[in-house]
Structure 1
Amino acid sequence: MSQEPKTAIDDEMRLEYDFTGGVRGKYYEAYKQATNIIVLEPDVAEVFRDSAAVNEALRLLTKIAKSTII
Structure 2
Amino acid sequence: MAEDFSKGKRGPVIKPDPNKVRITIRLDADIIEHFKNRVHATGGGNYQTLINDALREYIRAHDKELESTLRKIIREELKRAV
Higher relative contact order (CA 8 A, sep 6+): 2
The alignment's TM-score, normalised by the length of structure 1, stands at: 0.47
The alignment's TM-score, normalised by the length of structure 2, stands at: 0.41
